Structure 1
Amino acid sequence: MTVIAEPSAGNLAEFGIILQINLMKGAFMAQTTTPCPRCHQQMIADVQQVFDLFQDPAAKERLLSGQVNVAVCPSCGYQSAVGVPVVYHDPEKELFLTYFPSELGLPINEQERILGPMITQVVNRLPPEKKKGYLLRPQSMLTYDTLIEKILEADGITKEMIKDQEKKIALLRRLLTSPEDRIAEIIKQEESLIDQSFFALFSNVQNSAVQSRDEKVLAVLKPIQDALLNQTVYGREVKARAESTQKAIQDIQDLGEQLNRDSLLNLVLNAPDDSYLQTLTGLARNGMDYEFFSKLSARIQAAEGEDNKKYSEIREKLLNLTKKIDQAVAEQMQLRKKVFDEIMKEDDIEQSLLKYARAIDDSFLVIVKTELQNARKNGDFMRSGKIQKILDTVEKMTKPSPEVELLEDLLSKTDEAEVEAAFHENQALVNDEFKAMLGSLIQELSKTQEADPEIIARIRFIQKLTE
């Protein structure tokens, strides 16, 4: 079992000396070793002191998730939190925080001397127009918990909300460790805690078990999920929404090539509930254009009594839903435009794209292509050249390896003779990486009940050719 513990007093003195040396050198991403309290083997810790959201938007997520400043023993798996000075900066919320672990035992003047270079580094990275008064008054947090609470508070998460979440985590642990015959009783006693956030916690555990293919955990989760969905008010609502959502998806798929404005309108007017209607809108927003709403208005005018009222209410709901979708798309495009602008400021395009990797999606590429067209239209060849470099770099970074392309080509062929011929034509790509990829694919697909047996058979045929 993995255990996360506080740093022991025995190794803090040694660690503090190493840390001070690294900090004085300006090495704000340091690495240190410390003995494992359990098995006494050396643990290596990657230490990060500066969390500057201006330079690294993902820094907050790493800090809050506990992914940083943790030493892991390679021998027994023991984990120990590493107490290090921290500077946290969120320019959007004008939040500038510092934390210095009291267990390092350094006087205030030494703490300020160590924190000073980190604070200066954060301030110097900002362009002049972003340097504001809050930077002159970094707030000192007395404890690590206070630091985290302050960050969460800026996001609108209060101490009461944190305590409520802790209660839900405790309930989830209790359910996971209780005998199956006690689950219903526990849920009945604690139903007031079972809401959207509790289901989010449960889903995280479930998704983790699915990804790791942990059948034992999945077996424990199944009766808990059934009880939550069938025995709680919120659970029954979740179940009903899920069923409506699935029905909407299935109805769209069943229409196939017959999906048009008229058939979509029939689905909309016969929607059993709002979840069904919301799913249809999300799936077929592009089809809900001016002509679609004209047809809907015509149906309303032709209807009488209750049908007229029902169709009118559906139109209002659709107008609200499409408006929300359009607003969300617009906001997404604005965010991607900000990412594009930040990347354009950088000299190293590849490093900048890696920094904003999570934002590199279809919306981002739409922005890039639009900006490229505008630059060429305006005759700004310097700008268009840099934008073209962004596109070329994204293509290079997302392009599958030659081995993956070969496998995709082989799997697209249905005739074994064609597969064999293409295989022998590309012998140079049949390397250890290609063979390992085949073995891994077969292993993964064999564990998946939904896997297509024909695809598995094709991969096995290709694997035989490598022997």
Structure 2
Amino acid sequence: MATRQLIMPVLCSACGARFTAPVEGIVDVGSNPALKSRFLSGRFNMTRCPRCGNEAVLNSPLLYHDPEHELALVLMPVELNLNHTDQQRIIGDLTNALINSLPPEKRKGYLLTPQVFFSLQSMMDRVLQAEGITPEMIERQRARARLIETFLRARDEETLRTLVKQHEAELDYEFFQTLTASAQAMQAEGQPEMARTLLGLRAVLVEMSSAARKAAAEANAALGLGEMITREDLLERLQKASSDEEFEELVAVGRPLLDYSFFQGLTAQIEAAESQQDAETANRLRALRSRILDTAARQDEEMRKAVQESAELLKNVLMAEDPRAVMQQNKERIDDLFLSILSANLQQARADGRSDLAARLEAIGDIAADILEERLPPEIRLIQQLMRAAYPEETGQLLTQNRALITEQMLAVMENILQQLEAARQTRAAERLRQILEQARAISQIAVQTR
């Protein structure tokens, strides 16, 4: 499978924090079909700021390959301001990496003339059009995504009820298809907290609107675990689950289908078994029904409790005389959910003009970034610290103190980052890293000579 991953320095547009993040250069849906939905969700090469929780897509060259539709598309973000020579060099590097990963019979002519796009949205539109989706359908999909974001930003229940009333006509079958599919995509990408947030929004909307209840029931019949399945398919999978972990995952991801109709169908099967005097099957299905209900209720309670605990932790940190000490005592709880709640509060504080609260929340974000940085591999953590430090005094001190980490592998990582910065025309950052890299090489040579 083709892959081209680099570590890239990032400057958060929301709070100004500097950190590093992995970036992928090739999306080959022929070797991994699941990448298509991830790409189309707009979250490919998405990074989250460890300071404030802000999410953003990294601007980086990207090659998209779909052999079924013979698509070879290259994203060359206009923000990079690359000249024609640099563009062609990058396109050649990405294309060669892809072709070299394919067996000879799949190396077709269209790969040699990839279509170039200068915005991610235009490239996504081309992928969708290859699937038979018209521009009008694409725009309606975007409108639904914007509405979901609007609901998620509601500050309280009263605000959400007002928004639901204003947009009730838009809460149709297609809206709930989009909402459910988004939750499934988050679960597949390893973001269960966000998946549960979307499913929680879904449940609240259904409760608040009779139109939403009807539309959600229709959508449930069409959407399932990342593919087009029915409630009957889900029930069969639950019965065949080979482990507790698989059963839990099925309940979590398939939650949109676990509605009244699902349990009505399960009850009908129990009654059918009883009418045939098949007590064993009836008892087994009753036990399954109880297990599903218990699992779903427990997952709901766990999510509610997790949100409440993270919110309470943030409140305690805000009130503490020594926020860093409180966060260090609870460092295992500094996770994506905490960052999401922190980010929501920070955005609200800024919107309300509460600069004092926003400043405190930003400071908490800095502490969270430090705690999360501690979990990184030592080499990556050192690179992050070097990019923030003053050159040459502080960077020299850091390199001297950590000279054991300056290995050939770390120098190679720094060279890869430097190449990426140069290709992106980030001149100042590239020059800074070049100086640090020279320092690192010099200190590593001194270390070798003194051994």
Which structure is larger by alpha-carbon Rg, 1 or 2?
1
Q: Which gives a bigger RCO, structure 1 or 2 (Cα 8 Å, sep 6+)?
A: 2
Please give the range of the TM-score, normalised by the shorter of the 2 chains: 0.3 to 0.5
Query: When the two structures are superposed, what TM-score results if normalisation uses the length of structure 2?
Result: 0.44
